[in-house]
Structure 1
Amino acid sequence: MDKQQFFEGLRVVELASVLAGPAIGLFFAELGAEVVKVENARTEGDVTRRWKLPSEPAEADYSAYYCSVNYKKNVRMIDLSAPQGRAEVLELIADADIVVSNFKRASAQKLGMDYDTLYEHNPALIYAQLDAFGADDPLPAFDVVLQAEAGFLYMNGEPGRDPVKMPVALIDILAAHQLKEAVLLALLHRYRTGKGSFVSTSLLDAAIASLANQATNWLMEGHIPQPMGMQHPNIAPYGDIFYGSDGKPLVLAAGTEGQFTQLCQCLGLPELTQDERFASNKSRVQHRSQLCDQLRPAFERADRAAWMKKLGEAGVPVGSIRNMREVFEREQAKNLILEEPMPDGRNSRRVATAAFKWKPAG
C-alpha cells in the first residue's frame, strides 16, 4: 500500500482556519483521508485566502499562504450561524471519524459544534480541539504572540537589538504535530475499544514543550537564555557564519571534539587544538569570538563550494546558507513538492507535510 492511501475511507471534518488546525487536516488529506473543510460563508471563508503577497492576483479567491495547508480538501462554504448550515455540518459529522476544531470553546458551544453536543450524534467521534492559551483562557492569538509568550522572541535575534520572530509560524506547526500525535493515539484507542475520544492541546503548551535545552538550561542552572544571533549557548563553533572567497556564506556545527579537530586540519590550523583557549568545547564557548577571528581568514582562501566538499568529506557538519530558490534546486526538495489544479486554472504548489517514508513488512 502506498502511504498516500493509508487513511483511505477515513473522514475528517475540519472546523478550523489559519494554519495550525488546517495543518492537521492536511496531514490526513496527504495520506488518503477525505477531508471536508468547512469555511465560514459569512466572512468569505478562511482569512488566509486574503493573506496575499503583493505579487499575487488581487482578484484570486485564494493566496499561496492558504494553499500551503489546504491540499486535497473538499471545501464547503457554510454559514454555521444558520440552522440549515448547522444541519448540513451535523450530517457530515454523523459519518465522520475525526473533527478538528479551533473554535473558541464558548463559540463552539453556542454553535452546537462542541464535543459534548457532537458526541450525541456520533459516540465514536474523535474530536481534536486546538486552543491558543488553554481551555480556561479565551484570549485569541496568532503565532507571533505565542513566540513572545513562550520565550522564543526574547531569545531570538542579535545582542542589543530588537527580538526577531521566526520566519514561519513555527508554533502553529508544532501545535499541529502535538495534536496529530494525540489523534493517532485516539485512533489506536478506538481500534482497541470502539470508543471515541476528546483530545486537545494549546499553542502555548506546544511552544513551551518545544523549548528543549533552553528550558533545561533555566530549570537546572538558572540560566536565562539571551539573544545570541546564530550562536549556540552550549557549543562552539556551532551556528557561526563564515564566508568563502566568493563571498557566499556557510555555517558550521562542529558538535564533537573529533569534528573540531577535523575542521582545524581542513583549514590548515592544527595548532588550534593545542591552544588552551580552544582545547575543549567549554573553553571554545568561553572564547568564541577569538576562535572565530582565527577561523575567518582561513575560509577566505577558497570558495564556498570547495569548503563544502572538503569539510563534508572530513565529516565536519557544514551547511550552505541558501535562499528559497537555492533550497528548491535540490532534488530532495523537489521530491517533496505536491501540485494540485485549482478551479481558476492555476496550480497550487506546496511541500508535503508527511515527509516520512513508509514500507510495510513482507
Structure 2
Amino acid sequence: MSFSSSTEAPASALPFADLTILELASVLAGPQVGQFFAELGARVLKVEAPAGDVTRTWKTRAEAPDTDVSAYFSCANWGKHSIVLDLTTPPGRQQVQQLAAQADIVLASYKPGDAEKLGVDYATLRQGNPQLIYAHLTGYGPRTARAGYDAVLQAEAGFMYLNALPGQAPQKMPVAMIDLLAAHQLKQGLLTALYHRARRGEGALLQVSLLDSALASLANQAATWLVTGRDPQPLGSGHPSIVPYGTVYKAGNGRSLVLAVGADRQFRHLCQALARPEWAQEARFQTNEARVTHRAALESLLQARIAEVDGDELLSALEQLGVPAGAVRTVGEALAAESGQPMLLPAGEAPFQGLRTVAFRSSAWSVAPVLSPPPHLGEHTDRAIAGQE
C-alpha cells in the first residue's frame, strides 16, 4: 500500500507496522478491533458507505451538530483512513476487492448473507488473496440472519436480569458491554490466526458472534446455574458469593465508596478501621461463608457505621491496612486522575484527546504512538483509489 503509518513512531518500533487492515465493519465491536491494530502500528483502511458509519450521527446534546466526528465515532476510530465506496455498484465492489487483495486482515460485520450479496465475503476475497484472514462478526452466528444489537443481547444473555437491585427493574450496562466483549474475542481470534499463518502460511475465516461472546463472559454466574441448577439472582452491585463486596456505601461526608473484602483477614482489618473489632468475632461474620448467609444483617451494620465516618479518612485507613476499597468516581474523575493519564491518546491534530484500546505494555517496544485523529468521512478516498493504479 502507498499509505504511511498511522503513527508518528518509527515503523519498526511497533509490532503490527507491516500489517494492513481493511475494515468493513461499523458501530463499535469491529471498529474497536481496527483501532487496536492502529495503535500497534497497522495501516487501517476504514471503508464506509456514502452515508458513513452510523455512529458519526450518534451525538449527545452537548456535541456540536456541524461535525461528522461524534464522540461515539471517536471512541473507536483513531489512526484510520476513511474511504467511501458504494458496494452496491460494480466499481465499488471492484475497488474494495482490489484493496482486499493487498490486505492482511478484513474486519466485517455484515448480517449472514449480506457480504455475499455485496461481493465481500471470505470465499470471494480469498480468491485474490489466499493468505487473507477474514474476521466476520455477527449477532447470533453465521446461520441466523438477525441483526445483533448490544442492548438486546444484554437482555437475552442474562446481563440485564442480574444488573438490578432485588425487586427492581433490570438495567442495561452503561456502555455497550457485549460489543466490547465481542471485540476482545475477535482480537484473540485474529492474534491466533496471525500466529497460525506465520507457522503454516494459511489464511483463515474467523467467526465471532455477540451472543457467544456474551455467554462466554457470564463466568461465575453461569457456573452457579450449571453447578447448582439455580438461577443467580439480582443483587445490585453486590457479589453472590463474597460479602462485603461491591455494595455502595455513603459515608458521613457524602463520599460514596465500595469495599471488595475477599478474605477473612481483610474483614478483620475493616472492622478495626471502623472501630468495631467485635464484629469480626461474631460467629455470623467470622468467615465469608457466614457473611454470605447473614448478608442483610452485615450490610445494615456497615451502612449505618460508614454513614457516621469521613469517607476519605476511611479509604486512607483501609489502604494502609491492605483492605481493597475505592471511591465511586465519575468518568471525568477517573480519566483526570494521575492513574488514568497513561490511557489517554495525545490530541495531536485533533481538538480532543482519545482513549486507548490497548491496555498492556511490553518490553518489546517502548514508543507511545501519536495516532492521527478520527477521520472525516471519505477523507482518504482519493489516495486509496490512486494507490491502486
Q: Which residue of 1 aligns with 2:95?
A: 88
Q: Which residue of 1 aligns with 2:370?
A: none
Kindly state the Cα deviation for residue 340 of structure 1 after the two structures are TM-superposed.
4.6
The reply on whether 1:14 has 2:37 as its aligned counterpart is: no
Secondary structure at the aligned position of 1:153 is classed as helix
Q: What is the aligned counterpart of 2:353 among 338, 346, 349? A: 349
The reply on whether 1:257 has 2:261 as its aligned counterpart is: no
Query: Taking every aligned residue pair, what percent have the same amino acid on both sides?
Result: 46
CA distance in structure 2 between the partners assigned to 1:98 and 1:325 by the alignment: 35
Q: In the alignment, is the contact (CA less than 8 A) between 1:67 and 1:349 conserved in 2? A: no
CA distance in structure 2 between the partners assigned to 1:354 and 1:3 by the alignment: 18
- How do residues 155-170 of structure 1 correspond to structure 2 at under 5 angstroms? 155-170=162-177
Q: Which residue of 2 aligns with 1:225?
A: 232
Q: Which residue of 2 aligns with 1:31?
A: 40
Q: What is the aligned counterpart of 1:130 among 137, 145, 165? A: 137
Q: What is the aligned counterpart of 1:279 among 274, 286, 304? A: 286
Secondary structure at the aligned position of 1:347 is classed as coil
CA distance in structure 2 between the partners assigned to 1:294 and 1:155 by the alignment: 25
State the one-letter code of the partner of 2:258: V
Kindly state the Cα deviation for residue 195 of structure 1 after the two structures are TM-superposed.
1.1
Q: In the alignment, is the contact (CA less than 8 A) between 2:236 and 2:247 conserved in 1? A: no
The reply on whether 1:358 has 2:365 as its aligned counterpart is: no
Q: Which residue of 2 aligns with 1:101?
A: 108
Secondary structure at the aligned position of 2:113 is classed as helix
Q: In the alignment, is the contact (CA less than 8 A) between 2:11 and 2:41 conserved in 1? A: no
Q: In the alignment, is the contact (CA less than 8 A) between 1:72 and 1:340 conserved in 2? A: no
More off after superposition, 16-25 vs 267-276 = 267-276
Kindly state the Cα deviation for residue 103 of structure 1 after the two structures are TM-superposed.
1.0
Q: RMSD over aligned Cα, in angstroms?
A: 1.6
Kindly state the Cα deviation for residue 286 of structure 1 after the two structures are TM-superposed.
1.6
Post-superposition CA distance 1:111-150 (Å, at most 9, x none): 1100001110100100001010111101112101110111
State the one-letter code of the partner of 2:43: E
Structure 1 length-normalised TM: 0.95
State the one-letter code of the partner of 1:314: L
Q: In the alignment, is the contact (CA less than 8 A) between 2:112 and 2:144 conserved in 1? A: no
Kindly state the Cα deviation for residue 62 of structure 1 after the two structures are TM-superposed.
2.0
CA distance in structure 2 between the partners assigned to 1:4 and 1:318 by the alignment: 38
Give the total of aligned pairs: 356
Q: What is the aligned counterpart of 1:172 among 176, 179, 182? A: 179
Secondary structure at the aligned position of 1:335 is classed as helix
Secondary structure at the aligned position of 1:230 is classed as coil
Return the structure number with greater relative CO, CA threshold 8 A, min gap 6. 2
Secondary structure at the aligned position of 2:336 is classed as coil
Secondary structure at the aligned position of 2:353 is classed as strand
Q: Which residue of 2 aligns with 1:210?
A: 217
Q: Which residue of 1 aligns with 2:374?
A: none
Post-superposition CA distance 1:74-131 (Å, at most 9, x none): 0101101111111111111111000000012311001110000111010010000101
Post-superposition CA distance 1:217-238 (Å, at most 9, x none): 0000112111111111101011
Q: In the alignment, is the contact (CA less than 8 A) between 1:308 and 1:318 conserved in 2? A: yes
Kindly state the Cα deviation for residue 294 of structure 1 after the two structures are TM-superposed.
2.0
Kindly state the Cα deviation for residue 3 of structure 1 after the two structures are TM-superposed.
9.4
CA distance in structure 2 between the partners assigned to 1:341 and 1:39 by the alignment: 24
CA distance in structure 2 between the partners assigned to 1:5 and 1:68 by the alignment: 21
Q: In the alignment, is the contact (CA less than 8 A) between 1:64 and 1:348 conserved in 2? A: no
CA distance in structure 2 between the partners assigned to 1:354 and 1:256 by the alignment: 31
- How do residues 18-97 of structure 1 correspond to structure 2 at under 5 angstroms? 18-41=27-50, 44-97=51-104
